Amino acid sequence: MPLVGGVYRIGVNLDQQDLGGPKDFMQNMLDNPGFEPPTDGHLIKMGSASNSTFTDATDSGAPTGYWVGAKASVRTGAAAGDQFTIVGFTAGGSYAFGSCQNASGGSIACPTLAAGVGVAEVLTSPAIGGPLNKNVIAGWAAGDTNSSLSTADKFEGQGSLSINVADGNSHYVDYGWDVEVSHNGVCSNDDVTPCTDANQTADCGSGNTCVVAPQAGPWHPVKGPFEIAFWAKGSGTSTGTPQVTVALTRPTTFTVSHTFTLTNDGAWHQYTFPFTGGDTGFKGGSNMWRLDFKLTATNGSAATRATIYIDDIYLGRAENSPTGFRDEVVQTLRSINPGSLRYGAYVQLGTSDDGYEGASGCRAGNSGPTATGTCDYLHGPSYVNGLGGSWVYAAQDAYALDGALDAVPFMTIGNAMNDADLKEFTDRLCTATNTYNFPSVWIENENEEWLNGHGHISYGSENLGKLGYGEETQRNFSIMNAEATAHCPSIASRFHYIMGNQICNSGVIGGELAGASAAGYPMPNTSQYGTDDATYYPSTQVLPSYSGSLASQAAQYALLIFGNVPKSVGPPGTGCINNGRYSDYGVIGSNNFLAIYEMGPGAGGNGHGNAAPEQAYLSEGGYPSAAWMAESWLLAQQIGKTPIQNEYQLGQLEYQNAPMWGIVHDLDSDFGPTFPHLRPIALGMEVMNSAIGGNYYPVSGMPSGTYANAFLQGSDWSAILVNSTSSNSAGTITFPTGTVPGICKGVLYSNGITDNNENSNSVYVGPCASFSCSGQICSYNLPPFSVEAMDPSSTATSMSHRLSPAHRQSD
């Protein structure tokens, strides 16, 4: 019998797109393209209270009057579900409230809330974040106070960009990309030796340069057919000549511009400008210039109250994207073949469902020059406690991307959603599950709840039980499960509900479960409910500084991290996750699961007595990282109740001078090595995901330091093998009745274990050097620090692609 049925391919955290660095995700390069008003969320912990006033024990720090107009929802306690409007706020956390309603929207007498009760408030206003001429909001800035977000008029949604042109002068807004340049990279003479610009000669030798990231082209390349499109309306402009000029510039490289004379009839019209992008490649990120977009409006002459409104603006390729994501994102992810995609950004945890997914009725994906009604046009930027201001693509886009990749959604929602939001989210997830036929969906309530600074909407480590996170989470799940059962009963069993935990600290999940039970919301002991952990390596979050040749250092780092992995996900007696009654596995119910919401490298290269940046790149961005992450993925499957795991994360230049949290280097198919640009960990995921499918079976008799998992899908066997040692490991695997694997592939290097893919494809996927089968017995010979997959097909087509074909994007 299989140990685990229905295991999933290893997944990845998407995170949010960025402007400055490598996360060039979206077909429309502009954030908040619908100029929707921002939201700001805060979690109140009730202090003293009456039926019209209360104090907040976790003051947001906002000035007097700031929260007036916010919609508040009681999340815990006897009045949970009740709603009201904030009618007064004084700095320091004193509130007045009124217009009270029950969870269904019916008028009620306002309650007097008990101390400690959690109340979420969400404010929606174009004034959040301050004026555009002083603060950048979702990438947008203004030259003066004449340009602002406004709800006075709009083409669709709630708001638009308002440009006051009554004085007859020109006024502009500005948007920019590509400002992140690393000081770390690879030497120009071989494209693999890690270096820093400060140590260029010592690292690379005289006459060679340290080619820092981005090594071959801009993070956001503009090349080939592109288009700018927007909707505009002149109001009070009848006596003038309203015009809008758009310009896109990368200094020393290219400039395009166009001026539109608006149809001056007081109605909305769309304007489009096709052009050819002129970006070129370069050698080293120091040659990258900021890409700048400017939109300028004028009426030509003074006119009282003359205003030009802009809405639904687009800048991107002159083509449509069904998912909303660039082709490079889809192509990269298809190479990795993830089983799940986690959608979760902290700023999205402090908003309503409309802020999270886009307004009800919006269209997922479908990004293109003339598209309207998309979810990305119909939700605004998000703040938490006044911090943030970034805009994240709509959750509905994530569903479309999941569907295109045959992946399942892993959605992290926030504490700020009220009961109606939870039901709307559930209903829309029912629709997505039916539309894309997801075999399962995974819903995490909040994330890392113990982090409760101003940038988080969390209860904090001291308030995880009754009246806090534990109570709210299980109450939320009871609402959502009831809604799914009523709204989509045939697929309600596919919904999985996740309460957050801190790895190997069972007191966290234990306290949450106890608090939920005390509040009357015990977590059901079924396979639809569970918790999750995050595994990072080394778990100490410190890389020592080793000496010796680069190859010697790479081997030392590999042995360190390979040896660290079992401390988290090893078997009972070794790993802390599954280690008896008081471990993470021991506290949850016998039928509950434990997911891995994120995992990956976990130590920076700060050079302060620890590893230097060069050493961080050698260890966490080098060839062995593919196999030590695969070791973690295999061992987590082996401990028995961990069906889904997500690597952190798809793209990020670096963190603390280390390539820790980006498994792809960039998403630029125009420049650099042959695309896609996968770092070794992504290649390890590609190899592993080619063999995962069906049911997992343990493999016994493996040599010390070598691990293997087998999978049976239909009658086809496959297996994944990892060698964590510094020597070759040879042996055989005997498969039961069925079709044995027909091919073998692994992650390989071109020069040695010091290879990386920062500016090359020196680490790649290729055929195993030694593999053969006779009857039901297959032989292997694993190189040091390696990961290999035995796939069941006699061709180069892998199991998961052959038996679960990925959908193609099409217009």
Band of the pLDDT at 461, cuts 50, 70, 90?
A: confident
Work out the percent of the chain whose per-residue pLDDT is above 90: 89
pLDDT digits (tens, 9 = 90+) for 745-775: 999 999 999 999 999 999 999 999 999 999 9
pLDDT digits (tens, 9 = 90+) for 287-337: 899 999 999 999 999 999 999 999 999 999 999 999 999 999 999 999 999
Pair 188, 200: CB distance under 8 Å: no
Q: What is the pLDDT of residue 286?
A: 86
Q: Is 358 exposed, middle or buried (0-12, 13-18, 19+ CB in 10 A)?
A: buried
**Measured in Å, how far apart are the chain's first and last C-alpha atoms?**
44
- pLDDT band of residue 7 (cuts 50, 70, 90) is confident
Question: For residue 803, is pLDDT > 60?
Answer: no
**DSSP letters spanning 456-489:** -----TT--STTSHHHHHHHHHHHHHHHHHHH-T
Q: What is the DSSP string of 232-292?
A: EEEES-TTS--EEEEEEEETTTEEEEEEEEPP-SSS-EEEEEEEEEE----SSGGGPPPEE
C-alpha closest to that of 338 among 64, 590, 10 = 10
Q: Given this model, what pLDDT does residue 156 score?
A: 98
Predicted confidence band of residue 6 (pLDDT cuts 50, 70, 90): low
Burial class for 308, CB neighbours closer than 10 Å (0-12, 13-18, 19+): buried
Considering only CA atoms, which of 116, 143, 127 is closest in space to residue 56? 116
3-state secondary structure of 707: strand
* Tokens encoding 161: 């960009």
DSSP 64-127: TTTTTT-EEEE-SSTTTT-EEEEEEEETTTEEEEEEEE-TTS-B-PPP-PPTT-EEEEEEE-TT
State pLDDT tens for residues 85-138: 999 999 999 999 999 999 999 999 999 999 999 999 999 999 999 999 999 999
Q: Are 377 and 34 in contact (CB under 8 A)?
A: yes
Q: What integer pLDDT is reported at residue 809 of this predicted model?
A: 31
Strand ranges in 27-66 using DSSP code E only, listed in sequence order: 39-49, 53-56
What pLDDT sits at residue 798?
41
What confidence score (pLDDT) does residue 450 get? 78
Q: Are 322 and 403 in contact (CB under 8 A)?
A: no
Answer with the residue of higher pLDDT: 802 or 700: 700
Mean pLDDT of 588-602: 95
Q: Do strands 184-187 and 763-767 pair parallel, antiparallel, or not at all (unpaired)?
A: unpaired
Other CB atoms within a 10 A radius of the CB of residue 334 amount to 19
pLDDT of residue 441: 97
Find out whether 46 and 56 touch, Cβ atoms under 8 Å.
yes
Q: At 352, is the secondary structure helix, strand, or coil?
A: coil
Residues 6+ apart with CB under 8 A from 127: none
pLDDT in tens, 180-198: 999 999 999 999 999 999 9
Confidence of residue 143 (pLDDT cuts 50, 70, 90): very high
Q: What pairs with residue 442 in β-bridges?
A: 410, 496
Q: What is the mean pLDDT of the chain?
A: 94
Residue 576 has pLDDT above 70, yes or no: yes
Tens digit of pLDDT for each residue in 724-751?
999 999 999 999 999 999 999 999 999 9
Task: Supply the pLDDT for residue 349.
Answer: 93
Report pLDDT digits (tens) over 636-682.
999 989 999 999 999 999 998 999 899 999 999 999 999 999 999 99
* pLDDT tens by residue, 488-541: 999 999 999 999 999 999 999 999 999 999 999 999 999 999 999 999 999 888
pLDDT at 609: 62
- Express each pLDDT in 358-411 by its tens digit: 999 999 999 999 999 999 999 999 999 999 899 999 999 999 999 999 999 999
Question: 456 to each of 242, 348, 448, 449, 807, how far by Cα in Å?
Answer: 43, 10, 10, 9, 37
**Do residues 469 and 463 touch, judged by C-beta distance below 8 A?**
yes
pLDDT tens profile 219-234: 999 999 999 999 999 9
Q: What is the mean pLDDT of residues 11-29?
A: 96
466 conformational bin, left if phi > 0, alpha if psi -120 to 50, beta if neither = beta
The answer, yes or no, to whether residue 602 has pLDDT greater than 80, is yes
